[in-house]
Amino acid sequence: DSGVTQTPKHLITATGQRVTLRCSPRSGDLSVYWYQQSLDQGLQFLIQYYNGEERAKGNILERFSAQQFPDLHSELNLSSLELGDSALYFCASSGARGDTQYFGPGTRLTVL
């Protein structure tokens, strides 16, 4: 158990809809990272937040957005969903030193 929690575990929705994925980092960790893992693209970094502020962006689509709240939990919002957005979405967290990232169990999103 990494100490990072993600909800929900599974999510099934339709094209065009909007969903929100939630992540709670390990106690004391200030950085949260979001990753997408699809069959054809592998694990890809989407975005990082540090103490409420956006720190780095990876291959995140404009339809996707994220935020980190004062209690340090983070939400990833996916809108105008397409079939190709079906994937595993992982959240990771790290401490102030920013070295080792610890991953949550993921949310499996299925877009029908």
> Among residues 13 and 60, whose Cβ is nearest to another protein?
60
CB of 43 to another protein, least distance (A): 4
CB of 106 to another protein, least distance (A): 5
Contacts (Cβ under 8 Å, ≥6 apart) of 64 = 46, 47, 76, 77, 78, 79
Q: Is 75 in the site for another protein (CB under 8 A)?
A: no
Q: Are 47 and 58 in contact (CB under 8 A)?
A: yes
Contacts (Cβ under 8 Å, ≥6 apart) of 19 = 11, 13, 77, 78, 81, 109
DSSP element (H, E) containing 64: strand 64-68
Sites for another protein among residues 8-67 (CB under 8 A)? 30-31, 33, 35, 42-48, 50-51, 55-56, 58
Binder among 20, 22, 75, 105 for another protein (CB under 8 A): 105
Q: Which residues bind another protein (CB under 8 A)?
A: 2, 4, 30-31, 33, 35, 42-48, 50-51, 55-56, 58, 88, 90, 92, 94-106, 108
